[in-house]
Amino acid sequence: MGRKLDDQKGITLLEVLLSIVLLVIVLTSFAGFFTQSALFVKKNEDKISTTQTAQQIVNLIEVKLTRDILSTSTECPSLPCNLDEDKLSGLLGRSFGSSQKIFAEFSKGTEGLIAVEVSVQDTNNPESNSRTFTYIRR
């Protein structure tokens, strides 16, 4: 009439709790991995942004500036000279409304070229900066 409960097989409460604890430990380690990867992505986005801005400014310098324009400007009367964002905007005829600090350094290069170094630094993330170089040939 009655069955013995001793013969039944199943999972004990201790085994269930142990499996839950192990699952939480594994999931916590994965959560740390995703947090670190999100920080890495943000840092790389900032770096790409400064690099793209520097490259755009170099492209503008290569297209719009000539030796004559540079030598007759009041911003850069002689080489070497350093220009901040405002002076560079006046020289190129374009404003750079961004959250980045922009500097350009003009100096004498080899074979009569003018060497240009453009530096861009993100004001929100000082570790994110980029430097790009070019020459003015004409």
pLDDT in tens, 72-88: 777 777 888 888 888 88
Domain borders along the chain are 14-136
What are the tokens at 4?
A: 């013995």
The pLDDT tens digits for 24-44 are 999 988 888 888 999 899 889
Q: State whether residue 83 is helix, strand or coil.
A: strand
Q: Tell which residue, 67, 41, 65, 59, has the closest CA to residue 128.
A: 41
Q: What are phi and psi of 74, to 5 degrees?
A: -80, -20
- 3-state DSSP helix/strand/coil percent for the chain, to nearest 5? 50, 20, 25
Q: Token pair 């374009």 is at which residue? A: 94
